A = this chain, B = another copy of it.
Amino acid sequence: MTGSELTNIRSPRVKAARRLAKRAFRDRDRAFLAEGPQAVREALAREGVVVELFTTAEAETRHPELIAAATAAGVPVLRASGEVMAELAQTVTPQGLLAVCRFVHVPLAEAVPYTVGREAARRDGEAGTARLVAVLAHVRDPGNAGTVLRVADAAGADAVLFTDASVDPYNGKCVRASAGSLFHLPVATGVAVERAVGHMKAQGLRVLAADGAGTATLDDVDLSGPTAWIFGNEAWGLPEELLRLADEVVRVPIYGRAESLNLATAAAVCLYASARAQRGT
């Protein structure tokens, strides 16, 4: 424990963390907040990510292993009063654990690496070759974005790209909805979508745009090869120019009477279809 309990919501340390709820301050400090035991656990599992950890007395009793892990990693653990934690946390029922984390995103070329002789590398299953990538283009709802990040992780995606017109992956709702997945796989952010598509095509990935306007359905396309999926805005899908950039526009077949699927469930169906086709199951 570093010092005594923080009880003043106006103390500089509390204020510095609190303002990370705003994107401008996150970008300035290159830091964000991760709330709750699951996110904190995943953040601590990545070296050098957690800058400081706020905890309540109760949370320390409930999660001694996390306090121990933070201490072992040299992360300052700051005991906070319930009032201070309520001020810092963005959820209605804060669970008494909140980490200030360094940005974890990587450049596009690191998320989807350039590889020399990539086909050979792919055949050999060499590390650093991407077989499945999810791109969030114009996704504005942070909860949706985080859920897609989580499902991409579950489906074994190699990277997730947030284009420049998408929500900030460090938005508190996105971090929470990702349920730790933000810390699991390479994430690039602020990427111009044309650049992302060009880069992925150059790496031998087939770029599929998921859109209800697609002429091909998920059942029509061969998903066994390296694939990048582009997912768009929930309300209006993907813009014309982006549909033209893709190798193919693919829709999830609607077998019943629903007009469409929501973003996260459509992404789940597409990414799992890819995962299974790539594994030959």
> Residues of A at under 8 Å CB distance from B?
38, 147, 150-157, 177, 179-181, 184-185, 219, 252, 254-262, 264-269, 272-273, 275-276, 279, 281
Residues of chain B lying within 8 A (CB to CB) of residue A255: 154-156, 275, 279
Measured in the bound complex, the distance between the Cα atoms of B266 and A276 in whole Å is 15
Alpha-carbon distance between A21 and B155 when the two chains are bound, in angstroms: 38
A80 to B38, alpha carbons, bound, how many Å? 47
A196 to B49 CA separation, bound complex (whole angstroms) = 48
> Inside 8 A of A155's CB, which chain B residues have their CB?
255-256
Q: Beyond A264-B264, A265-B265, is A258–B219 a contact (Cβ under 8 Å)?
A: no
Cα distance A184–B259 when bound, in Å?
10
> How many identical subunits does the complex contain?
2
Partner of A256, one of B156, B261, B273, B276: B156
Docked Cα-Cα span, A147 to B258, in Å, equals 11
Asked if residues A147 and B180 are in contact (CB atoms below 8 Å), the reply is no
**Smallest beta-carbon distance A278→chain B, Å:** 9
CA distance A261 to B147 in the complex (A): 9
A265 contacts B181, CB within 8 Å? no
Residues of B within 8 A of A180 (CB): 258-259
* Inter-chain contact B150/A262, CB cutoff 8 Å: yes
Expressed in whole angstroms, the minimum distance between the Cβ of A27 and any Cβ of chain B is 27
Report the bound CA distance from A260 to B264 in whole Å: 14
Task: Determine whether the beta carbon of A261 is less than 8 Å from that of B219.
Answer: no
CB neighbours (8 Å) of A259 from chain B are 38, 179-180
Which residues of the other chain, B, contact A147 by a CB distance below 8 angstroms? 262, 264-265
Q: Are B151 and A184 in contact (CB under 8 A)?
A: no
Residues in B with CB closer than 8 Å to A154 are 252, 254-256, 258, 260-261, 265
- B264 and A219 contacting across the interface, CB-CB below 8 Å: no
The 4 closest A-B pairs by CB, nearest first: A156-B255, A265-B268, A154-B258, A153-B258
B-side contacts of A273, CB under 8 Å = 272
